[in-house]
């Protein structure tokens, strides 16, 4: 054995003895075998243990470890072997650079996995579905992209710093350039940040009917720069997100119930008995219609050609189409009952007296 070691030390290749090459090769093979053992045995057992637990934290840890690529393991094995050899400075720095690049890549990938995990948890915790969840998906995807860009910028900064490049001047230049760009596109950026506010605060969602000043319509799309409404007359309204966040919005889709108030006028020829019974008649007909909540009916005033009653009730729905159909049912029911009771509704009339 000593003779073999002596022969290996006597042999030289590329500035390293045969003994050094033997140790480096042993380290390469040993590291590779340990990694294989780690992948096949330890990670497999960790997966089984994680499957038995209730918490998801261990699952994400196993996912991160299992997601480490074969390239990183190969580079790590070669790096350990190369560090034992006497190599040129260029080769040593190249090995260090390759290892750091792979390490940064794996760290960024691990952090991205954690971000995706919490994003999924957030979306799963959101109740309901449909268009509201589509908004959440869009927002989460945007935040994922922003986070990935930010992480890669940090990773690039680490790599450049290792190469000895002064990143202070680069960061300063980017800051000045970024300020110039921000001033040039401040309106666009304002709309984008407003879209984040809409996504997070949710003053309205896709499918809601909203009123903004003189404009109204159903929300069809919420974009990064603008929101699109479909007006009742059919045309598409495109409104900037900045304008939306600054405006007062009436969201009719979120109404739990709608108040209905209207006037009914009966003729002056109506008897006192029927005038007194009319509020009860209206109440009975309104309450007979499904999804209504009765409030009251008052003999309000004497009109020029009618005795006026004010009728007030609520429709137990925020849906506009259902609201209109219920009002129609109530109106038809009141008219039919009035006709049956012999009550005549008044209309504008004028009596002219002629003196002969």
Q: What is the pLDDT of residues 203-230, one digit of tens each?
A: 888 888 888 888 888 888 887 778 889 8
Average pLDDT over residues 4-8: 53
Kindly tell me if the per-residue pLDDT of 284 is higher than 60.
yes
Asked if residues 191 and 225 have their Cβ atoms less than 8 Å apart, the reply is yes
Q: Is the CB of residue 206 less than 8 Å from the CB of residue 221?
A: yes
The token duo for 168 is 């202070």
What's the pLDDT tens digit per position in 152-168? 888 887 777 777 776 66
pTM above 0.75, yes or no: no
C-alpha torsion angle, residues 57, 62, 68, 70 (rounded to 10): -170
Please provide the CATH number assigned to the domain covering 258-341: 3.30.70.100
Token output for 292: 């209504």
Q: What is the tens place of the pLDDT at every residue in 174-183?
A: 666 556 655 5
Q: What tokens does 137 get?
A: 């998906």
Segment 266-276 mean pLDDT: 93
**Helix axis angle, 57-66 to 89-125, nearest 10°:** 150
Give the pLDDT band of residue 190 (cuts 50, 70, 90): confident
> Of 84-88, 121-125, 128-132, 344-348, which gets the smallest average pLDDT?
128-132
**Domain 164-254 = CATH 3.40.50.10490:** no
CA distance 221 to 206: 6
Which H or E run includes 315? Answer: strand 307-315
Provide the pLDDT for residue 307.
94
Can you tell me the distance from the alpha carbon of 152 to that of 14, in angstroms, rounded to the nearest whole number? 37
Cβ atoms 258, 312 nearer than 8 A: no
| Cα dihedral across residues 292, 294, 299, 302: positive or negative | negative
Domain positions in the chain: 2-125, 164-254, 258-341
The token pair that represents 233 in the structure block = 């007359």
- Chain-centroid distance of CA 148 in Å reads 17
Give the chain's end-to-end CA distance (angstroms, integer): 150
Q: What average pLDDT does the segment 343-349 reach?
A: 88
């Amino acid at each position: 054995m000593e003779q073999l070691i002596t022969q290996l030390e006597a042999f030289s290749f590329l500035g390293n003895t045969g003994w050094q090459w033997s140790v480096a090769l042993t380290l390469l093979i040993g590291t590779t075998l340990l990694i294989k053992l780690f992948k096949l045995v330890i990670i497999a057992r960790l997966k089984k243990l994680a499957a038995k637990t209730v918490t998801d934290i261990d699952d994400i840890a196993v996912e991160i470890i299992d997601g480490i690529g074969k390239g990183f393991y190969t580079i790590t094995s070669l790096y350990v072997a190369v560090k034992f050899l006497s190599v040129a400075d260029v080769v040593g720095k190249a090995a260090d650079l390759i290892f750091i690049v792979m390490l940064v890549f794996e760290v960024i990938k691990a952090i991205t996995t954690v971000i995706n995990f919490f994003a999924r948890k957030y979306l799963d915790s959101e109740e309901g579905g449909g268009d509201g969840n589509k908004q959440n998906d869009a927002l989460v995807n945007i935040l994922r992209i922003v986070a990935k860009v930010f992480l890669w910028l940090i990773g690039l900064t680490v790599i450049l710093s290792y190469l000895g490049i002064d990143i202070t001047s680069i960061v300063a230049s980017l800051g000045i350039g970024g300020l110039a760009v921000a001033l040039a596109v401040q309106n666009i950026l304002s709309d984008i940040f407003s879209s984040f506010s809409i996504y997070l605060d949710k003053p309205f969602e896709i499918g809601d009917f909203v009123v903004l000043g003189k404009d109204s319509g159903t929300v069809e799309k919420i974009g990064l720069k603008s929101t699109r409404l479909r007006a009742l007359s059919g045309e598409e309204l495109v409104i900037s997100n900045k304008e939306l966040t600054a405006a007062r919005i009436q969201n009719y889709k979120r109404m739990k119930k709608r108040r209905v108030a209207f006037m009914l006028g009966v003729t002056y020829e109506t008897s006192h008995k029927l005038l007194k019974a009319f509020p009860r008649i209206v109440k009975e007909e309104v309450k007979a219609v499904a999804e209504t909540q009765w409030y009251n009916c008052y003999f309000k005033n004497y009109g020029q050609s009618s005795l006026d009653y004010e009728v007030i009730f609520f429709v137990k729905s925020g849906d506009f189409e259902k609201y209109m159909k219920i009002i129609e049912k109530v109106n038809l029911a009141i008219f039919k009952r009035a006709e049956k009771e012999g009550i005549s509704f008044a209309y504008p009339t004028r009596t002219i007296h002629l003196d002969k």
